[in-house]
Chain A
């Protein structure tokens, strides 16, 4: 059984719509602010980046690290969250 956080479950449960980027699993206040500074103010923009990178795990994680300084766990959580969302809704 995979251990997913409450945030992950909530995000994956429904279409993201206009949810802020901080709604993503692994993205808290600090990281969210950094992403917003870089122009990724909504969760769907990050989704866009994820899709542009062709859902590649390594690339997306590297991008996340470069853009907002996420650590390995945060990268993993965010990637997993988006991946599952895409599997469900895309």
Chain B
């Protein structure tokens, strides 16, 4: 008893043709699709197959069940063997052949799967067929679930392994694409380092240093400076013109035309406590030289003043000019320019000279008088 295949689609078109011819089945004219031959085969031969089975008093359902496994097995074997075959060949016999569908049917099928279908023209048809095929392979929505499952399992597995390489490769690729590339945002650490001129080690006085440190910290607040502790040490001379002072002392106030700050003066005063008292006392005596008419005091004061000034100069290493300026500006801020002080000094000096000359006769006389007295008495 010749067993006709219940799934003629596993055969090639040519084989189908030959089978039909062998069984005296009329072939349709022209060059129809394979599905036509499949249908013919089914109609003519499979029906005969069933008739023969019917003679054995086996129900159709039963017979269909019996006939299922072999086709399924044959499907699997065939599908695994052929890689380049059309997917439509492996399909369930009830399954539509996407290539045989009309444009409208193809569109309807795609719409069932929720695809927004565009015009199906020559260039797009193949793509839509492929797409429908993919949907069908993934999860066919068809009747006869048992058959479907059997074949579906075999088909899907085989398809995934064999024929779906291209699509599977294509699918993950677009998936990968939309992934946002994590652009590493590297925060630029603002390492300022030491932008402010760090040059000196100053053993400057505390108050000025604090002022300078405050300025520095305010300016560097935005900058992340890690070295804060040594920065304080290197607070340096921000007020000096070049910012660089190599010496251990802060810039000298009152020298080279620099404005004298009262705070500095106070500091100077502390250091100059001893000599300034002398100078102040001498300057005081100077001012009162008019009242005191004594030859010794003015001259002595004048001489001592110069000596003290020189001593003060030596101690402070300030120029000679600063000493007289320090004296008169002791209590008051320096308001008198230098030349005025010199003029005043000259005026006082001449005045004292006049006094001296005026008293010279007197001074001579006491000595003479004293000598005379001494000589007279002796």
40-90 of chain A: CB within 8 A of chain B: 49, 52-54, 56-59, 61-63, 65-66, 72, 76
Q: How far is the CB of A3 from chain B (nearest CB, A)?
A: 9
Q: Are A52 and B121 in contact (CB under 8 A)?
A: yes
With A52-B118, A52-B119, A76-B177 known to touch, is A66 a contact of B131 (CB < 8 Å)?
no
CB proximity of A82 to chain B, nearest CB, Å: 15
Contact B174 A63 (CB under 8 A): no
* Residue contact B123 to A61, C-beta cutoff 8 Å: no
Chain A residues with CB under 8 Å of B121's CB are 52
Contacts across chains A and B counted by CB atoms under 8 Å? 36
Partner of A56, one of B116, B119, B170: B116
Question: Chain A residues with Cβ under 8 A from B170's Cβ?
Answer: 58, 61-62, 65, 72
The digit string for B174-194, where 1 denotes a CB below 8 A from any CB of A, is 100100000100000000000
If over half of A's interface residues share one DSSP class (helix, strand or loop), that class is named, otherwise mixed; here it is helix
Size class of the contact patch on chain A: 10 to 19
B177/A53 in contact, CB under 8 A: no
Roughly how many angstroms separate A66 CA and B173 CA in the complex, as a whole number? 16
**Chain B interface residue count: which class?**
10 to 19
Q: CB-CB < 8 A to A59: which residues of B? A: 124, 127, 131
CA gap between A65 and B126 in the complex, in Å: 12
Instruction: Decide yes or no whether B215 CB sits under 8 A from chain A.
Output: no
Q: How far is the CB of A20 from chain B (nearest CB, A)?
A: 19
Residues in B neighbouring A58, C-beta threshold 8 A: 170, 174
When chains A and B are docked, how far (Å) is the Cα of A53 from the Cα of B110? Answer: 14
CA distance A62 to B134 in the complex (A): 13
Contacts of A72 in B (CB 8 A): 170, 173
CA–CA, A49 to B166, complex, Å?
22
Docked complex Cα distance between A1 and B130 (Å): 35
Nearest 3 pairs of A and B residues by beta carbon: A54-B118, A72-B173, A59-B127
A52-B123, A72-B173 given. 19 additional CB < 8 A pairs? Answer: A1-B183, A49-B124, A52-B118, A52-B119, A52-B124, A53-B118, A53-B127, A56-B116, A56-B118, A58-B170, A59-B124, A59-B127, A59-B131, A61-B174, A62-B127, A62-B130, A62-B170, A63-B127, A65-B170
